[in-house]
Chains A and B, each alone.
Chain A
């Protein structure tokens, strides 16, 4: 179907190549002959384009200036301390650890699940009605506000039989722990990973599958050793996008991790205790230290926000590199594919 719709497009292209090029990309825009309204619109287009660049530049520069002004190396190694004075309220070691832990748990759950789900959606999809409803459910999940996911998580994890994941109902806890926050965070990343993988699998040429089947390989072997390796960059960029969303989320942290001052382990088991305990991440640290939170230590908030922004920008650059390496295409196509920020339905 899709190929039938696409074939007419390239067919006339080779013959009038020079003409088509001049029409599609005229050497220079001459707007002097245009009616006034059209010229105004033309300049408005330029203004919005430049305006977006200015906004982004302003955000980055502002955070850079503030970040450099308030960032001290000691902030990375000190734990937050309860103090009204900003010089004594410690650093953000615990929130950084918290961010890493939550992201690790969320990604560890979402990545295999998302890839498996996408593989099923793309390669098996039997029965068809189930596939379609799973597809729309995942799409719906992408649209659910994270605050709603958070209160849903709280509802689930405050049930007695899941109490082992947190401090447990014995202490009057509502089900706040690294485990719980990480598990709900995985729901946040899942649609991104499913979308990226599904889209990439749909673009793998059928001859790859046919070649594999011709060698007597089963579908599951084909998926494992032919298809998934072929789309590794797409999977990676989906996973990194998911990580970005997990790192940037505040609502789930506040509600399911407690957003406490320090990471507080439960009991004395080294690792498990910490994961069952409450804590904070960089986002909740920024919120709590902003005028909206209780801390009101804006120097700390700026410094932490700067670190957070740098992490997010690094991930962003990684996604760009991954998706540029995906496959060569026309310049225009590549530029715009890089704009695919979310797997936006098909």
Chain B
């Protein structure tokens, strides 16, 4: 009543400034959205010549990728083909191998570690394990790469790869410490923290009464975890796996350092030797070939690899979103 007359204009300017703020912030949101859409579009446009020249065979096999890239840099087309001729299968295969092996290994280890962290670890151990996991997550990938190339790779080269094994494939590929196994091991350590973190927070969120009910029926602790906790938390574990896959897919620097740096399609038919064959995933290839970005055809090819990674990463974040949906039913935030 009283003072209303004075308050009215003040309130109105307040409302107006509020509207202005909303419009400014909304404009910012639109800008970010446009920027991200622009990123997808420009990378795809730049990549298009490579895809349109090679068609779906872009993903197929055929010849040595390293030779193709070198000839592309030099401007001399591979015999009988155009400058954009490119068959990325060894790189795609390398990406699939490192990513899938690391994620599978990581899935087992991270589930066990998350169960340990939330169920079995005594309080003092848990207090140590928390910072340890954060530390593993914080180490930059170039340091993982450095340790891999200067410590792990020479060790594997000396102790795990026998001379006979090296001789057996000498005409196909040279084996040394930088190989699929080294890359997979380090990649696993790199993706573990995120998987453990998500799985552990989902396991904590499992309603205590459910586990207590199981315990009251005389089911032992591990069976309870296996039947109740892990079964309830599986969407979060799946989401963690999807996220870890995206990270493993995009890891460039560490893999450029320790994966062997050769566009070679490691052959699973070689038995154990397979693990010691060099590979080079897509992201690592982009990183190593980035000097060629000034040369038209090489740039198109590199952007094509980038487009493949971008599309895969986008699909993975969609999958991660979809897989988390069942969690909402339990009111678990992961």
Contact = CB atoms under 8 A, between A and B. Distances in A.
Asked if A and B bind, the verdict is yes
Interface of A: 1-2, 5-6, 9, 12, 20, 23-24, 26, 29, 33-34, 38-39, 41-42, 44-49, 51-53, 55-57, 59-60, 62-63, 113, 116-117, 119-121, 124, 126, 130-131, 133-134, 136-152, 154-156, 172, 174, 190, 216-221, 223, 244, 247-251, 254-255, 283, 286-287, 290-292, 298, 301-302, 305, 308-309, 312-313, 315-316, 319-320, 331-333, 335-342, 344-346
B112 A44 contact: yes
A244 B136 contact: no
The main secondary structure of chain B at its interface with chain A is helix
Given A45-B115, A313-B135, A335-B127, A152 B331 contact: no
A52 B293 contact: no
18 contacts: A47-B112, A63-B143, A113-B32, A116-B25, A117-B29, A126-B26, A143-B320, A145-B249, A146-B250, A147-B309, A148-B286, A248-B139, A250-B141, A290-B145, A305-B142, A312-B139, A319-B134, A345-B320
Contacts of A172: 294
B317 A139 contact: yes
Contacts of B137: 341
B250 A145 contact: yes
A226 B218 CA distance: 51
A244 to B, nearest CB: 6
Interface string B167-200: 0000000000000000000000100111011101
Contacts of A292: 145, 149, 256-257, 261
B202 to A, nearest CB: 10
Contact of B33 (A23, A49, A137, A151): A137
Give the interface size bracket for B toward A. 35 or more
Contacts, number: 319
B197 A339 contact: yes
Given A62-B147, A290-B145, A136 B135 contact: no
A291 B29 contact: no
Contact of B18 (A117, A144, A218, A287): A218
Interface stretch (B55-63, B77-85, B204-212, B269-277): B204-212
A338 B329 CA distance: 25
Nearest to B199: A339
A261 to B, nearest CB: 15
Nearest to A57: B132
A308 B138 CA distance: 11
Contact of A148 (B37, B196, B293, B306): B306
A316 B135 CA distance: 7
Contacts of A218: 14-15, 17-18
Contacts of B239: 344-345
B9 interface: no
Nearest to B115: A45
A146 to B, nearest CB: 7
Contacts of A190: 32
B117 interface: yes
B133 A339 contact: yes
Contacts of A47: 112
Contacts of B220: 33-34, 38
Contact of B333 (A29, A38, A148, A346): A346
Contacts of A286: 142-143, 146
B113 interface: yes
Contacts of B37: 137
Interface stretch (B66-74, B86-94, B118-126, B156-164): B118-126
Given A190-B32, A248-B142, 20 more contacts: A29-B221, A41-B226, A46-B120, A59-B136, A120-B29, A124-B25, A140-B317, A143-B314, A143-B317, A143-B320, A144-B250, A147-B252, A148-B309, A155-B42, A223-B21, A248-B138, A250-B253, A290-B257, A305-B142, A339-B133
B73 to A, nearest CB: 15
